[in-house]
Amino acid sequence: MGLPWRLILSESYDEKLLNDLEATNNFGDPMARRRGFIHVIDSDPSHVELPQRCLPVYLLQGRSGVFASEFENRLRRITMLEALRRSAVREVLVVAGEGDPVPKDLRELWLSGFRCQITIVSDTSEAHDSLGRWLESTEGINAANLLKLPPSEIVAAVLARYRAIYPEERRIIRVRDVRGETRAIDITEADEPERPILESYSVVEERDLALVTANELSEEEFIAFFRDSTAKWRPYGAGLPWIRDRQSFESLASLLKKLNAVGPEENCIAYITAESGAGGTTLARAMAWECSRQGYPVLIAKQLPFVPDALPVSNFLNRVRNIIDAQTAEPGATSQDQKREVETRLYETPWLIVFDTLHWQYREGELVRFRNEMQKSGRPV
């Protein structure tokens, strides 16, 4: 149940199981970072405001021992089923118990126009015939998957396959310190599980910064770069694109050095002026890659139409700073080390945040406000 499903509907209430699921609601749990925290809902979900990303578990019969009128029970069930109907899921997995493997609620949803692929798990002897009769008598569906195995075996197989296809990945970035030395910092747990900013932004990771020789870059990668320069970082490591005038690189480096020395008081906005299709996005990514190699972390807004908000970005950068402090702290430090640590705490590595035209076009005033809010929060960008 803890996998990143769109939602879960449960006919039964198992207090221990739900407590175990809710116990995984922490930043350190890899599954929580993928699907958000688990929210157990035992009442009318129309009155519950869920976060941007989460796993709602709807208890169709509520919690045991909680009294509710017949009307409240019907309302809870109907609104939970409506949440499924409106979710636009592509596939429903039904783990059936004894009796009819096709739930009555699913039959009624299908009659209301709900459509998706259906997979049913049931090892009862009548499951095949019961499912066949429903398919023959129902319009809009010709086939469904039936897995005649014990639920415990299916659960083990699903978990094993999910972990094989989607192994956990760590996010490691390169960060410079007050002495100009660079470190590899693991920021996997910096993003909020329920309101992740890395759905709208990406970071240049340590693995993206490897240098590549011309012979190591394949012809397919070379051609693909000129079709879409945002797909991979590997061509940048091979020296693509070739830029004759590096004045823009030097100007950006100068701004970052000043910001590195002074702090957020020198927060600024740097523009790249280019005609549409003239390579402005590619130039920005090339500059971002070089800055990241020098230890200036880079946050790049994805090519999605969204309105950037300074507060979640600032919170993310603050959590990264706390992670840096925790990972660079040295136990058993001497007084000289402690003095150096104080200097380090006063210092914060500047970030480069890269936006494209679609994020701020005709809204320059909001961009300035974004910069000012970052400065007020004490984040050097």
Among residues 43, 80, 37, 41, the alpha carbon closest in space to that of 55 is found at 37
User: What pLDDT score does 330 carry?
Assistant: 65
Q: How many residues does the chain have?
A: 381
CB 352 within 8 A of CB 381: yes
**Distances 144 to 82, 109, 119, 147, 357 between C-alpha atoms, Å:** 22, 16, 6, 10, 46
CB count in 10 Å sphere of residue 362: 7
Question: ∠ CA 283-287-290 to the nearest 5 degrees?
Answer: 140
- Chunked into runs of 10 residues, the chain (381 residues) has average pLDDT values of 92 89 86 92 92 94 83 94 93 90 93 92 92 90 89 90 89 94 95 93 96 90 92 94 91 95 94 87 95 97 93 96 88 56 71 95 93 94 94
Helix axes 104-111, 70-86, angle to 10 degrees: 60
Return contacts of 336-345, CB within 8 angstroms, 24+ apart.
Answer: 343/178, 344/177, 344/178
CB count in 10 Å sphere of residue 320: 24
Residue 16, token pair as written in the block: 């221990």
Q: What pTM did the predictor assign?
A: 0.84
Distance CA 208, CA 293 (A): 9
CB 208 within 8 A of CB 195: no
User: What pLDDT score does 140 carry?
Assistant: 82
Distance CA 29, CA 2 (A): 11
User: What pLDDT score does 335 carry?
Assistant: 53
Residues in Cβ contact with 92 at an 8 Å cutoff, skipping those fewer than 6 apart = 84, 106, 116, 117, 118, 119
Residues in Cβ contact with 184 at an 8 Å cutoff, skipping those fewer than 6 apart = 172, 173, 174, 175, 206
Q: How many CA atoms lie within 13 A of 40 on its CB side?
A: 23
Q: Is the dihedral of CA 367, 371, 372, 377 positive or negative?
A: positive
Instruction: Work out the widest C-alpha separation in the chain, in whole angstroms.
Output: 81
Q: In sequence order, which ranges of the chain are alpha helices (DSSP H)?
A: 15-22, 30-35, 70-86, 104-111, 127-137, 151-165, 219-227, 234-237, 247-262, 280-293, 310-328, 335-346, 357-360, 364-376
CA 92 to mean position of chain CA atoms: 23
Among residues 126, 118, 124, the alpha carbon closest in space to that of 150 is found at 124
